[in-house]
Amino acid sequence: MLWGQGLLKVSDTETGSLSGIDLFSDMEPAELERVERACSFKRYASQEQIIDRQNDSQDVFFVVEGAVRVVIYSLSGREITLEDLAKGNHFGEMAAIDGAPRSASVMALDNCLIASLPQEPFLGLFGTHPDIALKVMRMLTGVIRTSINRIMDLSTLAANNRVHADLLRLSRIHSKGDNTAAISPIPTHSDIASRASTTRETVARVFGDLTKIGIVERQKKALMVLDVEQLSDMVEEVRGE
């Protein structure tokens, strides 16, 4: 079935709007409504799995409410976090594009409303809406760049330096524009350890050291980074940048 022939929603158990999805921000309301009709909407509880690595499904998913985490697991069962995606983001486009099995698992971080769009109408949008195709290409380019940087960090940085690098990444996302950052919600040691491929004990030790020299301060609702430039210098020094 070609895009535009009036695909119906797979399930009527939930309804929702795609108006907050970044990928569709430039789409006309009537066109967006057609995409919504082609989607099925489903709620997931916190920690519930949405898709599993190596699954052969090819739908694309949109985070309508809540947030999700993209993870892979080592042979020993250790969880490695690749990315957290908040409301407005999407995932699953790689399998839709190349038809290969899923490259990672995705689980809900809190109560989520997720829309899923089948492969065929998703790919059909590339022909009718070139701006969407360009957004997807730019997003995938970002994934490649992030992966290259992560491989370099894993290959060249010690565990404590990888924790610094992850904290710097979070600081830039939550920057207050005055050389400080307020990271909220406060990341757990487990979350940072998962991204930095280290242990919770290492993260706790590094945070303790950073607190002693006045770079990090834990407050009630946020983790404050009090000197982003100094943290950046620490990371750049070991990276040789």
Mean pLDDT of 34-58: 95
**Residues facing residue 61 across a β-bridge:** 91, 116
Tokens representing residue 54 in the block: 């190596």
Q: Per-residue confidence at 241, pLDDT binned at 50, 70, 90? A: low
Phi and psi (nearest 5°) for 50?
A: -100, -50
What is the spatial distance between Cα 237 and Cα 233, in angstroms, rounded to a whole number?
A: 6
What digits encode the pLDDT tens for the residues 126-180?
999 999 999 999 999 999 998 898 888 888 899 999 999 999 999 999 999 899 9
Q: What percent of the chain has pLDDT over 70?
A: 94
**Residues facing residue 14 across a β-bridge:** none
Tokens representing residue 29 in the block: 């309301």
Q: What secondary structure does DSSP assign to 76-111, as a single string?
A: T--EEEEEEEETT-EE-HHHHHH-PPPSSEEEESSS
Mean pLDDT of 207-232: 95
Shortest CA distance to 210 belongs to which of 237, 228, 198, 184? 228
Q: Say what the pLDDT of residue 174 is.
A: 93
Mean pLDDT of 18-28: 96
What is the spatial distance between Cα 51 and Cα 48, in angstroms, rounded to a whole number?
A: 9
**Residues facing residue 65 across a β-bridge:** 113
What digits encode the pLDDT tens for the residues 57-87?
999 999 999 999 999 988 777 888 888 999 9
State yes or no: pLDDT of 10 exceeds 50. no
Q: Where are the alpha helices (DSSP H) in the chain?
A: 29-38, 93-98, 119-128, 130-156, 159-173, 189-196, 200-212, 228-239
Q: Say what the pLDDT of residue 79 is.
A: 84
Mean pLDDT of 207-231: 95
Residue 53 in contact with residue 20, Cβ under 8 Å?
Answer: no
Q: Which residues contact 233 (CB under 8 A, 6 or more apart)?
A: none
Residue 124 in contact with residue 35, Cβ under 8 Å?
Answer: no
State yes or no: pLDDT of 12 exceeds 50. no
> What is the SS3 assignment for 112?
strand
